[in-house]
Structure 1
Amino acid sequence: MARLGWWRFWRRRKSRGTALHVEPLEKRCLMATVPLVLGAVYIEDDTGADHAGDTFEVSFVGGAAGTTLEQLVIDGDQDQDGLGRGDSLFDTQLGGLGADAASAFQIVSLQTADPTARVSAQVVDGTSRLVLSFERFQAGDKLVFQIDVDEIELWDPAETDSAVASEGLDPVTSGLEFHGSILTASFSAPWYEDASGQTIFRNRYDALLEGTQLPLTPDDDGGRRDRTAGGVLQLQQKVRPAEVSGTVYHDRNLNGRREPGEEGLAGVPIRLVPVDTIEPQAVLETVTDAEGHYAFVDVMPGSYEIVEVVQPAGYRDGLESVGTVNGTPSGAIAPGGDRFVSVVLPGGSAGVDYDFGEYLPVRIDGWVQWAPRGETCDDQDSATRLQGVWVRLYDADGREVAAVQTGEDGTFRFDDLEPGEYRIVEETPPEFFDGDDTPGQVFGDGTAALDGNDAVTVRLGSGASLEDVVFCERSPASLEGYVYHDRNNDGERQVDREEPIAGVRIELVDEDGQVRVATTDAEGRFRFDRLPAGTYRLVERQPLGWLDGRESLGRVDGALQGDIGSDTFTSIVLDWGSRGVDYGFGELLPGAIAGHVYADPDGDCRGDHEGPPIAGVVIELLDENGTVIQTTQTDA
């Protein structure tokens, strides 16, 4: 488990509850695995006179990647108490403090991996301190330079005449005389603290160089042991540790941003996995605190993955949000979620807000029912549940999320859904009509409403549910009857001797004027099925060659229903599931009356037609009420 800060936590019970106490711990120190080794060699090039400058070699090896030497200080004031006998000074100008000739700082060679590397020197003639400043000088690079070094043999601190004071200087400074001069170096490296250290030049230094692989001249090279001195400085660089933190929280609206009212989730294991760090780093694991917060501190700089190890109980993976490192976004969300990848933590940086959003699934349930004739959709006790009805679920963009068929008990259910907006659509079975639906009841954060026929729209927040959605279906009504030859015109069909009339057009007109058409079959019967509840008008189109007879009123659900008109029944009221039967249209074949008008010479009117016919006589046909209904004339 990662340490969350430089503190140790523990709990101590008190009589009134539990208090939290903290104890400071020593800061964790992260070290580079490869030590940094710098070496400098001094070579006195004169052999008793002061004709040339003395040579120095400088190089370093090891250290962290990207380490550069920033500054090197060589100080001949061996006791650091001001110039005195036995100290060394730099003689860079004639006429100043120095013995014999002088030689200023001069680079002999600069071997570097980076061609832009630079070295500059700061030194005051007649002083003991030489300061070298470096740019892009890396491990394995080597600097060789010359500068005249003199040794103080006699010294009067009160003497102000440099010519007089110079009489006490030796132009030749041996390795033994340079022994004790101070060497100070400063280094920098990305993601590491600046490192510096100090050592002294030693007359015999081969043992110091052994095993370092520093490319420096050894002590007895060319038999010049008494002319050389060397210093070796070893440093251990300290990493500037990084840290990263975030939160696991209940993302109630599933928008990937933690907002007020969205509580943190405690006890969730989080793992920090090193991918490419500047020094070896173990995998760390912690758990979120009571506020859902987690943190990893004092970790090696580098690239990491942050993993939510176990999904909180009952929650589903929501949306993660990539955090920032020192204010700049770093990393990405891995496919599948619950993991941040490529999170780069530079040395000394702080990554924050690597948050894992979680949500509680939402649920939708309900049923499909059929309301019998005479009952409403609200009469759920008398309703019959329907099995095998398709119910489909669509998201806010109209994409189908799921589809189920109602079970034996007529119920349907959609589980384990993300919070959001949905539309629930029922497919009415072909043998039914849509009835009155109920949008159900939302428990938790959300709303629900009817959305036209057979549809409900709902918005559900995390953990909410929509329960008891009801899609109600109604049975269609039907209407049937017959057309026949009413031989005795009594309006009652005698099936055994009054034959059916086929091919007659029958029209059924609803309240909106919509017309349905049927044609009588060979038995003279017609039928209209799948009718919604309403008031209807039934119309017969008079068959060719027939006269309108009497109509006989049918029954709806056993009771006479409607009004009779000429070839018409009106005000037929059908409820859901009603059955109207025996609406009869009686028809008559027209009759014929024929006779003769003739002269009857003997006047006996016996019809023996002994006289000639009389043409052009007007004959009138009257009905039983004395109304003339036809007129004709006798022919020739």
Structure 2
Amino acid sequence: MTPIESVLSVGLMDVEENQAGNQVKLMDSFGGIQEVVPVVGLGDNTWQEVKPTYSSSPADVYVVRVDIVDSGAITSLVFCQGDETAPPTPAPSLSAMPSGPILGSITGTVLEDTNNDNIGDVGQPGVTVTLLDESGSTLAVTTTDSEGIYTFFNLPVGTYSVVQTNEPFFVDVTDADGTIGGTGTGSDTDSTILGITLTPGENKTGQDFVDELQTEAPTKAPTSSPTASPSESSQPSNFILGSISGSVSEDTNNDNVGDSPLANVPVMLLGDDGSVLATTTTDSNGDYIFSGLPLGTYSVMQTN
């Protein structure tokens, strides 16, 4: 086994902020610890560099081990190779790289367009966002924070989709796989970002949605003299929208009747072609609702 002459730095990403127990260990060829460097995490979406102080002799260091308690990923290891001091072994007893896959993340925002310029202006908190795998199965459900930000952590290599559930009376403007303010093929108002591909340890950002409140057409000012027929209708000019609601409950006594409500159960709204239109979760009473729906045929799917 060849010693590592000098470990210059270890690059880390997404280490939990202020989490005790995170550390980098410099070890000898027998697995003995030569030096322990504590790691003070800087939080999600933050890269940091850890540098040893070398209280021990660099010639004694053969293995670098990184212990992460909660979440995080190794992004780089910079070192100088020493001279070979012993015959090579068929396989190393310890690895300088983590044994499991390096995981990544997907993050974005849900923004409101407040001035009708097709650009997001302020974050929407509490919006439901669902992560789907390549087959369309639900992997996770989360909600945006106070700034409209959402994140899905600990994701292996793969292709994903993200679906946003519009808040009541909000409609889509655009999302990350379309063009803001686009028309025709550039229009993207399906509340879904498709084909998000992650490589090992990749933290994909910018997966954003922009919505706006529905508005009714303004009425004209009254004329000074009566007309033979009214010039404006008292009803809004756009479609009158509907909703679909229901509940999810548990049958506790096996009589095929729901007895107690189930909270936080993911429920998906599907279009006539089976595509996912929206996703929500049941409230504390087991109730769910999909609002702002035009005329059409829908299906509702509950995820157990």
Q: Which has the higher contact order (CA 8 A, sep 6+)?
A: 2
Q: Do the two structures share a fold, i.e. TM-score over 0.5?
A: no
Q: What is the TM-score normalised by the length of structure 2? A: 0.43
Report the structure number with the largest CA radius of gyration. 1
Q: What is the TM-score normalised by the length of structure 1? A: 0.22
More strand by share: 1
